């Protein structure tokens, strides 16, 4: 009889109790079962294979995508007296030979291997001559071709099942959507694997989402107000923006550095090490930063730009508060973020299926952003998890946003998009709606529409909010050529016809003009102007083949 999981937990790791389903998972793989473990970042996935590794003779092979991640884990294990080693391209020939000999001699409890190294015939041959008690595939979502962490070598890990059918496999990830789950089972585990899903709620994270006004300034005051002198990650869309933001924050007296994939690998490593080891450093990074960063006391994750999907948002915000203490997930976004992501998506070389999925994931994120009630059920619902809501400390719980019946405003905005030829961006459409006369508007003859402008009395921010929420709901879509223009979406007919209504979240952005406090679009449908519009609509509908449901 080997040691029990409880003994190992206490004696080796120094913890008194298992968390969540850890014990159950350990029991399952120790008995030879395959397992898929879905647990949020910081949930404690590592113990699920580290303890089984120590329960029986032989070595557990851990496949991990990042060298830095392997190094950190091995250091921590060695510190606890566990015989752990790495096998990857960073080793010199002598160390590698020694590690291989240790494996053959059964001296290792755990061996961390990069997938490309593992897949070599020589390594597979070495494993065949060694005693292997478990394969652990960490960050298993890297097998998903639809995700942004896709690693082609992960697809080839199916070879483990063929070559080592007797050895149990455990795959672990914090990415939990149905699709990724299915891909991991298909490619790495097989149908007989047992799936363990932990709750994805991160009760210590306070979510908040706002609109961009002056994004940098908003970020600065957030950091100053809530997290002065604390560690945080600021995600930016572009490499350049990470550098500009870091430089600007530094000027404002915040200790900040940049990180992106375009940096020299030495500089990148240095930035990462500084972030992990120093207190109170803010790292402005692209999505290249983060996977496997095990820094427990990241007090906030800020998004200066919208991530591309709800998955990415969840993963990235999940890097905050791994120590269980209060942390913030803070984001500001704008309509142009949405348009940019949609365009990148449409222009990418991805197949139609993938584009469709990516669109859905972005839609899900937008729906989350525009959500007017507690953030938690909106976020967790995406992972198929119910949450009672009213957490009491997300932004919406603390300051519930108002909603309004935006049906008429939506119809007008959609009609304006149609009338201006479905090729202009939100800015121009809002100009027309508010009766602004710019040179461009006059040239295009859109001032003819402006004279009818019913939105004149309403402030531009509200119209922008309407446009954004129409985009979020798919009633507007960007033109496929990627010029930034908006077209009517496929499902806006019912809305235009007035057969359905739409509730919108009131724009949280205060108007730039102090005098304007109006938050809804006032449309007096009894007014002579409105009547004239209807009349005009009916006439032009006959003459110009305008769909009869376009209202002006
Ligand atoms: P994940 O890989 O799921 O993101 P880790 O395995 O890195 O999470 O664990 C996150 C943190 O939680 C680590 O600091 C780990 O030591 C700690 N931890 C894991 N299990 C337990 C436990 N049963 N009791 C206390 N701390 C734990
Ligand atoms: Mg992990
Ligand atoms: Zn809430």
SS3 letters across 192-241: CCEEEECCCCCCCEEEEEEECCCHHHHHHHHHHHHCCCCCEEEECCCHHH
Q: Evaluate: CB of 10 within 6 angstroms of ligand 1.
A: no
Between helices 239-251 and 215-226, what is the axis angle to 10°? 50
Which atom of ligand 1 is least distant from the CA of 48?
6
In tens digits, the chain (552 residues) has pLDDT values of: 689 999 999 999 999 999 999 999 999 999 999 999 999 887 899 999 999 999 999 999 999 988 878 888 999 999 999 999 999 888 899 999 999 999 999 999 999 999 999 999 999 999 999 999 999 999 999 999 877 788 999 999 999 999 999 999 999 998 877 888 999 999 999 999 999 999 899 999 999 999 899 999 999 999 999 999 999 999 999 999 999 999 999 999 999 999 999 999 999 999 999 999 999 999 999 999 987 787 999 999 999 999 988 888 998 999 999 888 999 999 999 888 988 888 888 888 888 888 877 887 887 888 789 888 899 988 988 877 888 889 999 999 999 888 888 898 899 899 889 988 898 988 889 888 887 878 888 888 777 665 555 555 667 778 888 887 888 777 888 776 656 688 998 878 889 888 899 988 876 443 333 334 445 566 556 655 556 556 655 555 555 556 667 776
pTM above 0.80, yes or no: no
d(Cα 172, Cα 193) in Å, to the nearest integer?
Answer: 12
Report the pLDDT value the prediction gives residue 455, as an integer from 0 to 100: 57
Residues 6+ apart with CB under 8 A from 205: 317, 318, 320, 321, 327, 328, 329
How many angstroms separate the CA atoms of 202 and 108, rounded? 35
424: CB partners within 8 A, 6+ apart = 417, 485, 486
Q: Is the CB of 518 under 6 A from ligand 1?
A: no
**What is the structure's pLDDT at 240?**
97
Q: Nearest to residue 46, comparing CAs of 109, 119, 139? A: 139
- Ligand 1 within 6 A of 19 CB? yes
Q: Are 500 and 494 in contact (CB under 8 A)?
A: yes
Query: What pLDDT is recorded for position 147?
Result: 76
357 burial via Cβ count (<10 Å: 0-12, 13-18, 19+): middle
H-helix or E-strand spanning residue 5: helix 5-11
The torsion region of residue 514 among left (phi > 0), alpha (psi -120 to 50) and beta comes to: alpha
Q: Is the CB of 231 under 6 A from ligand 1?
A: no
Could you tell me the end-to-end alpha-carbon distance of the chain, in angstroms, rounded to an integer?
81
What is the per-residue pLDDT for 492? 87
Q: How far is the CA of 161 from the centre of ligand 2 (A)?
A: 22
- ipTM, 2 dp: 0.98
140 ligand 1 Cβ < 6 A: no
Interval between CA 314 and ligand 3 midpoint (Å): 16
The verdict on the CB of residue 294 being under 6 Å from ligand 1 is yes
- Integer Cα distance of 379 and 177 in angstroms: 12
Give the burial class of 292: count Cβ atoms within 10 A of its Cβ; 0-12 exposed, 13-18 middle, 19 or more buried.
middle
Sign of CA dihedral 310, 236, 296, 273: positive
Q: Report pLDDT for 483.
A: 67
The atom of ligand 1 lying closest to the CA of 17 is 23
Residue nearest to atom 19 of ligand 1 (CA): 44
CB-based contact 550:419 (threshold 8 Å): yes
Structure tokens at 462: 């509200």
Instruction: Tell which atom from ligand 1 comes closest to the C-alpha of 9.
Output: 23
> Which residues, other chains included, contact 346 with Cβ-Cβ below 8 Å and sequence gap of 6+?
355, 478, 480, 482
Q: What is the pLDDT of residue 512?
A: 39
**What's the 45 CA to ligand 1 centre distance in angstroms?**
7
Residue 170 has, within 13 A of its CA and on its CB side, a CA count of: 30
Cα(423) to ligand 3 centroid in Å equals: 38
Work out the angle between the directed axes of helices 310-317 and 352-370 (0-180°, nearest 10). Answer: 60
Beta pairing, strands 403-405 & 503-505: antiparallel
pLDDT score for 552: 67
Q: Which two tokens stand for residue 437?
A: 């006369």
Q: Ligand 1 centre and the CA of 136: distance in Å?
A: 16
Residue 73 near ligand 1, beta carbon < 6 Å: no
Mutation pick for ligand 1 pocket among 17, 44, 136 (CB with most ligand atoms within 8 Å): 44
Tell me the C-alpha distance between 134 and 168, whole Å.
Answer: 5
Burial class (CB within 10 angstroms; exposed 0-12, middle 13-18, buried 19+) of 64: buried
């Amino acid at each position: 009889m080997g040691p029990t999981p409880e003994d190992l937990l206490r004696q080796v790791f120094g913890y008194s109790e298992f968390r969540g389903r850890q014990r159950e998972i350990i029991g399952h793989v120790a008995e030879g079962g395959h397992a898929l473990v879905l647990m949020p970042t910081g949930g404690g996935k590592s113990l699920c294979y580290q303890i089984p590794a120590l329960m029986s003779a032989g070595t557990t092979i851990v496949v991990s995508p990042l060298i830095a991640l392997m190094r950190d884990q091995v250091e921590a294990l060695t510190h606890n007296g566990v015989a752990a080693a790495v096998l990857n391209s960073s080793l010199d020939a002598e160390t590698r030979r020694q590690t291989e000999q240790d494996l053959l001699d059964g001296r290792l409890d755990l061996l961390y291997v990069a997938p490309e190294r593992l897949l070599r015939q020589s390594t597979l041959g070495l494993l065949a001559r060694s005693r292997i008690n478990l394969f652990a595939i960490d960050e298993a979502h890297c097998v998903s071709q639809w995700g942004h962490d896709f690693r082609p070598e992960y697809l080839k890990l199916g070879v483990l099942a063929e070559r080592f059918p007797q050895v149990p496999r455990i795959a672990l990830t914090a990415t939990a959507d149905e699709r990724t789950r299915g891909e991991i089972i298909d490619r790495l585990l097989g149908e007989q694997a047992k799936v363990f899903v932990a709750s994805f709620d991160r009760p210590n994270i306070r979510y908040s989402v706002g609109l961009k006004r002056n994004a940098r300034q908003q970020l600065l005051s957030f950091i100053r107000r809530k997290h002065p002198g604390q560690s945080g990650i600021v995600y930016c869309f572009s490499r350049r923006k990470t550098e500009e933001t870091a430089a600007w924050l530094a000027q404002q007296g915040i200790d900040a550095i940049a990180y992106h994939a375009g940096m020299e690998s030495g500089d990148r490593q240095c930035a990462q090490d500084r972030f992990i080891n120093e207190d109170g450093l803010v790292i402005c990074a692209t999505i290249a930063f983060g996977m496997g960063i095990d820094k427990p006391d990241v007090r906030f994750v800020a998004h200066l730009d919208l991530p591309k999907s709800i998955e990415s948002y969840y993963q990235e915000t999940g890097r905050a508060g791994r120590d269980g203490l209060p942390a913030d997930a803070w984001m500001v976004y704008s309509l142009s973020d949405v348009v940019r992501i949609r365009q990148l998506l449409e222009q990418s070389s991805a197949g139609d299926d993938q584009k469709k999925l990516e669109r859905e994931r972005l839609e899900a994120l937008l729906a989350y952003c525009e959500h007017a009630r507690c953030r938690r059920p909106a976020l967790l619902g995406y992972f198929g998890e119910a949450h009672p809501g009213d957490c009491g400390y997300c932004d919406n719980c603390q300051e519930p946003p108002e909603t309004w019946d935006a049906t008429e405003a939506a119809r007008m905005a959609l009609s304006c998009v149609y009338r201006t030829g479905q090729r202009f961006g939100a800015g121009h459409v809002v100009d027309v709606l508010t009766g602004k006369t710019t040179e461009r508007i006059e040239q295009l003859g859109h001032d003819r529409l402006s004279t009818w402008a019913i939105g004149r009395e309403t402030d531009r921010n509200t119209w922008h909010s309407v446009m954004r929420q129409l985009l979020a709901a798919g009633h507007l879509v960007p033109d496929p050529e990627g010029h930034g223009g908006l077209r009517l979406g496929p499902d806006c007919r019912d809305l235009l016809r007035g057969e359905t209504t739409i509730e919108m979240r009131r724009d949280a952005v205060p108007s730039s003009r102090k005098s304007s406090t109006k938050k809804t679009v006032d449309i007096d449908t009894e007014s002579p102007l409105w009547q004239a519009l209807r009349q005009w609509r009916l006439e032009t509908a006959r003459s110009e083949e305008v769909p009869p449901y376009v209202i002006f």
